[in-house]
Amino acid sequence: TGAMHDITDRKQAEEALRASEQKLRALIDSQTTYVIRTDLDANYRYWNPKFEQVFLSESDIKGPEGISALDTICDYHIDRVIQAVEQCVQSPGTVVQIEFDKPDIHNNTRATLWDFVCLPDENGQPYELQGIGIDITDRKEAEAALIRSEKRYRELFELHNLPKLIVNPQSGMIVDANPAARNFCSCDAVANGIYAELETGDPEAINQRLKDAVHRPGTIWSVEHRCSDGSQSTIEVYVSTVADADDTLLYLILVDVTEREQAKQALEQANAELEQHVMERTQQLTYSKQRLQAIFDASTDGVVVAHSQEGIQDANAGFLRQFGYDNLAAVAGRPMSDFAASLDSKV
């Protein structure tokens, strides 16, 4: 005799389990992230297709067994990975995050970010490591470029010998000042962080000018400025804008033009004095000419002004009467030789 058992439910459960495993593996294999599993000695047990595509050469694709994960990490990051693995093994089930660089199949270095966890066996003992990673190369390169840019800006700002300020136009507060500005500007104003205290004008008008400058970058102000030694100087402020996370800030470059303004004023004064002298001399010459003209016209003797080439240029009334003419036009331009005989006979 034999006994029969209905194993339909078991078969259905096995089919459901296989379907679930296939679905899970397909999900893992289709990931755009990197998925790996290793033993406690960091030897690969599994990698997904994305990891294989990026990091493994054809000679590695024989299978994960026997390949150490440490051999596929840049030397300078191996110690940090070993420390992370030890931390995972000491605390199974706890996720440990770590960044490290890996060479890809083209020998380019890729920055990666990983979440590792140590899974226990049925007895609760550490069994294997599982990791999910993403490529952060672009982010790291962007961060490095930002750091380089910040360094260049900081050097350009800090080391320049012209005073420079970063000012919030809405609050009127000084956000940053380079060493040259701290040496040149009023110490109290820089310490208090209030831009309006650097100028001698009305604070409300100064603050309004700061707000208006946001919409007019490239403006140049000419203002009276309080210096660190308590004196005042004339400065030109070259205004531009810089974007902050939340606000638009003003980037101000201060140029001391006191000596230039003094030279300009001295030149303007010298020009004014010269113009006054010229005007006075012109008046004197005009007066002398008028006196000479009066003497010329009033003389009863004949007086004539003649040019050797162009003849008579002027003649007084006495000359005209002497030769019987009524007006200057009758003798103008004629040579003196025309009148020589008459003159000799009159003598």
Q: Which of 130, 12, 138 is nearest to 69 (CA)?
A: 130
- What pLDDT is stored for residue 61 in this prediction? 59
Task: Please tell me the distance from the alpha carbon of residue 316 to that of residue 307, in angstroms, as a whole number.
Answer: 16
Instruction: Tell me what the mean pLDDT of segment 234-257 comes to.
Output: 86
Convert 102-171 into a string of H (helix), E (strand) and C (coil).
Answer: EECCCCCEEEEEEEEEEEECCCCCEEEEEEEEEECHHHHHHHHHHHHHHHHHHHHHHCCCCCEEEEECCC
Cβ-based neighbours of 306, under 8 Å, separated by 6 or more? 312, 313, 335, 336
> Scanning the structure block, which residue is given the tokens 């007084």?
316
Taking residue 54's Cβ as centre, other Cβ atoms within 10 Å add up to 16
Higher pLDDT, 23 or 113: 113
Determine the pLDDT at residue 22: 55
Asked if 77 and 83 touch (Cβ cutoff 8 Å), the reply is no
More confident residue, 24 or 34: 34
**1, pLDDT greater than 90:** no
Enter the pTM of the model.
0.46
- β-sheet bridge partners, residue 177: 165
How far apart, in whole angstroms, are the C-alpha atoms of residue 292 and residue 287?
A: 9
pLDDT in tens, 138-180: 888 888 888 887 777 777 777 778 888 999 999 999 988 888 8
CA pair distance 289, 307, nearest whole angstrom: 19
Contact 114, 98 (CB under 8 A): yes
* 240, 218 Cβ separation under 8 angstroms: yes
What percentage of residues in the chain have a pLDDT greater than 70? 84
Residue 102 scores a pLDDT above 90: yes
